Amino acid sequence: MTEKQENILQAALKLFASEGYHATSTNKVAKSAGVSEGLIFRHFGNKEGLLDAVLNLGKEKFKAIYANIIFEEDPKQVIKGALSMLFNVPEEDYTFWKLQMKLKW
């Protein structure tokens, strides 16, 4: 992934989480990322494709965190791991989870 693509995804994540998906235009994302709006369409197709890319990045992070719980055999440790995971979310991932809550509700 290029630096510009990363900038676009980070800008989209912040704006979607703070202002909402429907209230955020691709033009606003482009300005925040310091790129042209056309570059967003070239890399992600449309606004929905951009959201999908943002969510996929988050899913990959989640899978990495959740992997330890999946391979645990002791049911008590699975429950303990799942509950403690909620309190050990890295601060840099807060925006992603904020976006998840906005999209869900």
Which token pair is 71?
């391979």
Which pLDDT belongs to residue 101? 87
Mean pLDDT for the stretch of residues 23-52? 97
Number of domains forming the structure of the chain: 1
Domain assignment of residue 37, given as a range:
3-104
Output the CA–CA distances (angstroms, integers) from residue 49 to 46, 78, 79, 88, 99, in the order listed.
5, 34, 34, 29, 16
Angle at 98 between CA 84 and CA 22, to 5 degrees: 155
**CATH number of the domain encompassing residue 27:** 1.10.357.10
Which pLDDT belongs to residue 84? 86
Q: Which residue, among 44, 43, 11, has the nearest Cα to 28 in the 3D structure?
A: 11
Cα separation, 20 vs 64, in Å, equals 26
Q: Which residue, among 2, 58, 62, has the nearest Cα to 35 in the 3D structure?
A: 2
Mean pLDDT for the stretch of residues 38-48? 97
Cα separation, 28 vs 48, in Å, equals 15
Model pTM greater than 0.85?
Answer: no
Per-residue model confidence as pLDDT tens digits over 77-103 = 989 988 888 787 788 888 998 998 888
